[in-house]
Structure 1
């Protein structure tokens, strides 16, 4: 969610978590996870985040407590004006990351369709990684059952793609497959194959998968063949459970 006051935005991301985390751990894990989540495109130098040689955001000295860390926003290319802060905290069974009083450099309409969804996706994944995969949000589905659901889905969208794109079948297949999976995972967690075999995709905290998570999960899917395990679920902070 996001709200605006005088050109400054306040937003929050939160996941369920019972794991105790200290403020120091929250600070260190944030700066460690950002390069991983952005595939190394965004890196840390001191208290700043860089995109290549460009300093996109600079934080001031961290204010750390037993259960939180607060990073004042002091500058960078993504910052339109000084002020605002990023706060990550744990409490009442939640891990929460909030930004308050931040003025983006981008015009508001452009910020809303670019930087904002990117921020929500990265912060949600970071929080889910910190939450960890245990305890599981339900009974995990066996690999053979997952394969059965995938086989049903492959047959379904292959048929649709053949009908919709006779001249360019491979591009049509890719577009249909991507849209189908992202929509199904983020709306109900169930593809047609999942409904038939009684399984669904959820976040590791049991919440609904966001559209950003669903897209990340889809893009990471080829890694399954390389690692022979559900790497896409590890990256996207998701789990397939019995429905």
Structure 2
């Protein structure tokens, strides 16, 4: 593989494990990544379990090598993510064409991002008598971008820095539209925190450590994303430790 990529005039960095790959991505910003789940005959399970972090850092710039018989974990991975696939038996014929398409997408196509607007916030509703905002255990917000609606429920965990976020995306013009396996990226100040994909009902969830500001990015169709900027999360920190 190293020789083949070198012959294509590619400068390469190799990682032998998911942990090494994540460490490399913290230092480098490669044009593309090639993932080999079955390298050196090892099990694909460790790679699959850490793939969310790799995918969220390299959206649209990952391709996967496959053999004749893929492990069940790899098949699940390919069903979950829209990834280009290259057969190990046809590396010479297929690798460069797939890499070239990734490079071309990066240089020619710009990612379209629409900002969703807040249309409902439970914290902006009148409070019941005797209840302070810091006593509320959770917060519901609804965002809209054209016909796309993102219904979010955020709940800080008591006496903890953890926050649970449950969401659902729906099409207000087509309520029966399914948003199955839509990528949703949770972004913090320093970059991607986590990646989720929706189920057939458009639902997704995150559990994450407190961040002062977070944004959701939802890929509604190819190269077209909706950005959901959440309010400052200090309220969640106060609510989690209120009365403790």
Structures share fold, TM-score greater than 0.5: no
Larger radius of gyration: 2
TM-score (norm 1): 0.29
Bigger strand fraction:
2
Bigger helix fraction:
1
TM-score (norm 2): 0.29
